[in-house]
Structure 1
Amino acid sequence: MRILDISPLITEASPVYPGDAPLSLSFVRSSQVCVGTLTMSAHLGAHVDAPQHLNRVGDVSEIALTELIGPCQVIERIGKKVITAEDLPSRLSARRVLIKTGFNRPCCWTNEFSYLSADAVAFLIEQGVKVIGIDTPSIDPAEDEKLPSHVLAIDAGILILENLKLSAVQAGEYELIALPLKIKGLEASPVRAVLIDQRSGESGSCI
């Protein structure tokens, strides 16, 4: 069994969507202890969107954890700017689907990343998917303020995981664990997302 950490490292230099808050750390220190305070966008790093992100009812404290723990299928679609329904397998092996696009995180924000078309999300809904994940900042293009893929997914009760780190993950089946913080009133939450690979004959971790 292997544990694959699919959460990117968050630093004060991590790029954020223009206007969002980057990570900022401050500390109060004494001779015995150090107490830190952090501020950052809830959408920085690997995170899950709750319905409240689109002004629907439901914040991250109300997310059913069972949705974010369980069998998962990783699909690789590297080199596709727009991932459509035709790019997805006709049959899926799990209700949780993560899409690896090969996105490499730059030092500064960029709008150039792969995303899901509305028909791809509609197809995943038809297949009974409950969690959609991607290794880019968003399942929608950065410049589309209507967020059509978000709307379809959230209105269908699907959870969205974004900014995952899938570069070291091969396509296939895994167990997903991606738990949000239990913060009342927050529309999204950072997650420490991991995949458990039961297929490997070697024990160990990649965290």
Structure 2
Amino acid sequence: MKIIDLTHKLENNMTAYSPDSRAKIQKVATIENNGYEESLLTIYSHNGTHMDSTKHMNINGKTLDTLDIENFAGKAILIDVKDKEYIDLELLKKYEERINECDFVIFNSSWDKFWNTDKYYKDYPVLNKESAKYLANSNIKGIGIDMLSVDPYDSADFEIHSILFDGGKLIVENLTNLENIPNEFLFIAAPLKFNDADGAPVRAMAII
């Protein structure tokens, strides 16, 4: 068995959807001054590698803290979407049998190589409306991407988010290291458990 970390490290000045919502990590105690080490973490629920609950944009959705922990793990398949502008239904149909048998569909665009650069915010491949509806109507628990969002960064209506949330699907964004995993694996994305969690940073991993 091998475990591969799929999680970006939380750090100061890291990529965030908005510059105003960056994580901030401060050392508030040191062994030299206090006899122990302690840090203050100021984080937003959608910082770093994180999971969106369906309540993120759906008033009738569920927050992460209300879900059974089994929702955060399961059999996953990996779909390569490098060099694509959109993730269309034609592509997903090629994986239909495997999608019907899995819990999570993970998309590898290799966009994580642009993490902490301006390029990370632009031109990444996204689901189109038809493919989002296809996944929303499937029996999967959710999807994962190594990109900023399932919608374009300049989206005004977050249509793809809304379609997936209407289907009760979880979304894991900002994954990394997808180049290092096989096409099928056990996926775990364990979110922080706090009250009314519209989303939360996760420690995501592949067990192969």
User: Does the pair score TM above 0.5?
Assistant: yes
Work out the CA distance in 1 between the residues paired with 2:10 and 2:26: 15
CA contact (8 A) 1:16 1:44 kept: yes
1:36 aligned to 2:44?
Answer: no
1:161 aligned to 2:172?
Answer: yes
Listed as ranges, the matches of 1:30-69 within 5 Å are 30-56=33-59, 57-69=61-73
CA change 1:166–1:123 in 2 (3 A) is farther
1:105 aligned to 2:114?
Answer: yes
Structure 2 unaligned regions, length at least 5: none
Q: Percent identity?
A: 25
Divergent runs of 4+, >4 A: none
1:74 aligned to 2:78?
Answer: yes
Kindly state the Cα deviation for residue 91 of structure 1 after the two structures are TM-superposed.
2.2
Work out the CA distance in 2 between the residues paired with 1:189 and 1:19: 18
CA change 1:20–1:111 in 2 (3 A) is farther
Kindly state the Cα deviation for residue 152 of structure 1 after the two structures are TM-superposed.
1.0
Kindly state the Cα deviation for residue 140 of structure 1 after the two structures are TM-superposed.
0.9
Instruction: Tell me which moved more, 124-133 or 80-89.
Output: 124-133
Equivalent residue, structure 1, for 2:102? 94
Instruction: Tell me which moved more, 89-98 or 146-155.
Output: 89-98
Equivalent residue, structure 2, for 1:23? 23
RMSD: 1.7
| 122, 126, 131: which one aligns with 1:115 | 126
Instruction: Tell me which moved more, 112-121 or 56-65.
Output: 56-65
CA contact (8 A) 2:110 2:179 kept: no
CA contact (8 A) 2:143 2:169 kept: yes
CA contact (8 A) 1:50 1:63 kept: no
Kindly state the Cα deviation for residue 51 of structure 1 after the two structures are TM-superposed.
2.0
Kindly state the Cα deviation for residue 132 of structure 1 after the two structures are TM-superposed.
0.8
Work out the CA distance in 1 between the residues paired with 2:54 and 2:20: 19
- Number of residues paired by the alignment? 197
* Per-residue Cα deviation, 1:45-72 (whole angstroms, up to 9, x for no partner): 1110012210424222113221211211
TM-score normalised over the length of structure 2: 0.87
| 195, 198, 204: which one aligns with 2:206 | 195
Amino acid across the alignment from 2:81: R
| 128, 137, 140: which one aligns with 1:129 | 140
Structure 1 unaligned regions, length at least 5: 198-207
Work out the CA distance in 1 between the residues paired with 2:204 and 2:116: 22
Q: Which is richer in helix?
A: 2
CA change 1:121–1:171 in 2 (3 A) is farther
Work out the CA distance in 2 between the residues paired with 1:126 and 1:184: 28
Equivalent residue, structure 2, for 1:9? 9
Secondary structure of the corresponding residue to residue 190 of structure 1: strand
Amino acid across the alignment from 1:113: Y
Kindly state the Cα deviation for residue 43 of structure 1 after the two structures are TM-superposed.
1.5
| 139, 142, 149: which one aligns with 1:138 | 149
